[in-house]
Structure formats: structure tokens, C-alpha cells
Amino acid sequence: MNWSSLTSEELIPACIDEGDEAAWEEFVRRFRPVIAGTVMRTARRFGDAAPQLMDDLVQETYLKICANRCRILREFKPQSEESIFGLLKTVAFSVAQDHFRSGLAAKRGAGRQESALDSYVESVVAGREGLPQVEREIFLGQIDDYLAAGGEAVTPERDRQIFWLYYRHGMTARAIASISRIGLTQKGVESAIQRLTNLVRRRLVESRLEKAEGKSSANSL
């Protein structure tokens, strides 16, 4: 049997039902890049991607996949051909995260105070210049009011979420478009961002002008 010619949807039942070592070898070979890649990126965010550790975590991921007679794979209902890759990424992430969470718990026992996801979260905001905390809180509230003022007709909930993912969390339009539930292409996301950015910025400037001039400057804009 030429296992490498099977699609992933055909290969997985073959692995589970036949238990054939050659089929599993194809499974390990085919999905190693996605598993090892996820493990490596997650480990880097937690600050430790030593080769030995990566090997251990890759191995743990495979073992987790085949635990309880491959329960994870048996219960999985793929929505598309790509779904299996998403599943394996989540398993690899959860194995890596468990490892660092446990390790950090031990360090906290030795007097360190940070929570498990601190270094993970820091990896996202590192190097970005931010606003002073109080100013940021006020600014967020102000923008939220402007976005809410138009209601669902002017600023649909999805567009508001896109706006926050982009500005508050610094995600790129491409990354936002990759969240399948958003349901837009990158261009669609960019267009939503542009529209709400213009709206918010105009309101912010109007507010400043009103304060400065004591009257509305909406007509001039």
C-alpha cells in the first residue's frame, strides 16, 4: 500500500483502524512540520526553545494524539481537508502550554510571581510603544463610545471586533482575515478597518475642536 498517496482524510482512518506501522510512519512524516512548527513557535514565546525540549514536546504531542486509542482523532469531525492541520496545531499548542505552565508553577513556588501566560502575552507586545496606562483606558472608553453611537447599522459588531483586533491588539489585516469566523478576505478586513478608522478619527478631532473652539466644527469636515 502506498500510504503517501492517500489524502489526510483517508490516511487517518487507515492508521486508526489498521494500526499499520507504515501508515503511522506516513502520519508522523506528513504532520511533523505542522506539529514541530507549532511547538517551536509556542516554545519561543514562552522563552525556551531548546532542541531537546522541542523533541520532547513533539513526542508528547504524538503520544497525546494516540492516547486512549487515538481518541482525539476518532472523535474529530473534519469540516474541510485543512481541518486536521488545525486540530494538530491545537494539540501541539496545548502540550507545549501545559509544559510551560507546570514549569512556571514550580518557579513561582520559588518566589516568582508571574502567571503562566505572562511571557507568552509579553511576546506579542514586546517592542511596541504604548500610551500611558490611564490615558489608554480613557482613550479606549472614548473610542468605544464613538463606535457604539452609530449602532449596529453604522458599525456592525463584527466590524467593531475587527477594529479592536487591529488597533487594541495590533493584529494585521491578514491575520484577522485568517480567523475563519470573521468571514472576510484581507481586502474586506482592510476596508472595514479603514471605514471605522476614518469615523473614529473624525469624531476624535471633532471633539477636540469643540473643546478648543466651543462649537461644533462638523460642517467643515
Partner 1 sequence: MEEPGTRHLTADEVAGLIGRDGPEGISEERATHASSCDRCGRIIAMHQEEHMRLQRLAGGPRGKPTDTCPAAAEWASLAAGLAEASRSDELLAHASRCDACGAVLHALVEDFSEEVTEAESHSLEAIESAKPSWERQMAHRMAQASGRGRVIPMPFMRWMARAAAVLVAVGAGWLVWDQWIVSDPARLIAKAYTQQRPFEFRIPSAGHAGVRLERRGMGSNFQRPPALLEAEAKIARELEKDPDSVKWLALRARADMLRWDPETALGTLQRALERKPDDPDLMADLGMAYALRAEAQNRDVDYGYAIEYLGRSLKAKPNSLEAIFNRAVVYERMYLNEEAAREWRRYLDLDTAGAWREEAQRRLGELDVKKKSGRQP
Nearest approach, Cβ of 73 to partner 1 (angstroms)? 9
Closer Cβ to partner 1, 153 or 212, answer by number: 212
Closest by Cα among 53, 1, 55 to 24: 1
DSSP string, 19-53: --HHHHHHHHHHHHHHHHHHHHHHHHHHT---HHH
- Cβ proximity to partner 1, 5 vs 85, nearer residue: 85
Using CA atoms, how far residue 214 sits from 138, 149, 206, in Å, is 21, 22, 11
Least distance to partner 1 from the beta carbon of 138, Å? Answer: 11
Cβ-based nearer residue to partner 1, 48 or 118? 118
Q: How far is the CB of 25 from partner 1 (least distance, A)?
A: 4
Nearer to partner 1, 153 or 197 (CB): 197
CB of 153 to partner 1, least distance (A): 18
Angle at alpha carbon of residue 109, lines to 108 and 111, rounded to 5°? 65
Q: Rounded to an integer, what distance in angstroms lies between the CA atom of residue 80 and that of residue 66?
A: 22
- Looking at the Cβ atoms of 5 and 52, the one nearer to partner 1 is 52
Instruction: Single out the residue of 102, 103, 101, 92 nearest to residue 54, CA to CA.
Output: 92
Nearer to partner 1, 60 or 153 (CB): 60
Minimum distance from residue 13 beta carbon to partner 1 (Å) = 9
Q: Which residues contact 35 (CB under 8 A, 6 or more apart)?
A: 58, 61, 62, 88, 89, 91, 92
Spell out the alpha helix ranges (H) of 76-185: 83-109, 118-125, 133-149, 151-154, 157-167, 173-177
Least separation in angstroms between CB 205 and partner 1: 5
With respect to partner 1, which residue has the nearer C-beta, 153 or 204?
Answer: 204
- Name the minimum Å distance from CB 7 to partner 1: 18
Rounded Cα distance, 22 and 2, in Å: 9
